[in-house]
Structure 1
């Protein structure tokens, strides 16, 4: 019997896959537990439409991420940190502070978990930080660290 999986099943396959399994296994386990639905014409057509829609949405998200990365490449964010005598800083600049400063200065929101710091920013200057906007798109953001007054 052909079945379209509605959830990932360990021994069978991933969600959305069409698999051929024994009739008894399908009737007694997969269908009653709502792990899959019978692969008839209507269900296969629904799956095809859903896959086409998912592909379209993924393409739109990729284009949005690329456009946002282009916008972000020309922007600079200024972050201020406290300093002691001789210009020594207290602590470092975190991704949370960078995300908050970007939202305040540029009006757009970035998830702090997507900002990738190669090493901790513990001194004044201009740094280039990577922002993972999409699995295929990484944007660059300039962060200028200044002394808080």
Structure 2
């Protein structure tokens, strides 16, 4: 099955790439999640717009990634969560919440799939997560999780 990727898929490709995958993988995984479109001549026209959007968001080179890493590592994100007794959170802090807080507090737009949380964040206090900015560059992001008032 020939598909056009709309999102980055590990070990497969980046947005705008045309890939050949097995029918079941494309039909049951990639297409229902919105990671890919079926390749047609009409859909091929969308490749240019997908690639333009990717280049706008994409880190230009390693030097640009180093600048972004310096910005990320120089800040401590403050997250306010609902807390139960003993300082335990109701649920856990998600990568979506971290990405949204990073955009709100610093203006740096990072795809949530590039944020790696080692162990689930389920308590208040200081935590560290890894943000993969470029293939060769990653940053440690400090989080300060506190009780919502």
Relative to the length of structure 1, the TM-score reads 0.58
Distance 1:83 1:126 in 2: 15
1:122 — aligned with what?
A: 122
2:134 — aligned with what?
A: 134
Q: C-alpha displacement at 1:59, in angstroms?
A: 9.7
Distance 1:59 1:82 in 2: 34
1:109 — aligned with what?
A: 109
Relative to the length of structure 2, the TM-score reads 0.58
C-alpha RMSD of matched pairs (Å): 2.3
Q: Check 1:71–1:84 CA distance in 2 against 1; reply closer, same or farther (3 A cut).
A: same
Q: C-alpha displacement at 1:87, in angstroms?
A: 2.7
More strand, by proportion:
2
Contact 2:88–2:124, Cα closer than 8 Å, also in 1 = no
1:49-68 map, 5 Å: 60-68=60-68
- How many residue pairs match? The answer is 95
Unaligned 5+ runs, structure 2: 1-17, 20-57
Unaligned 5+ runs, structure 1: 1-6, 9-57
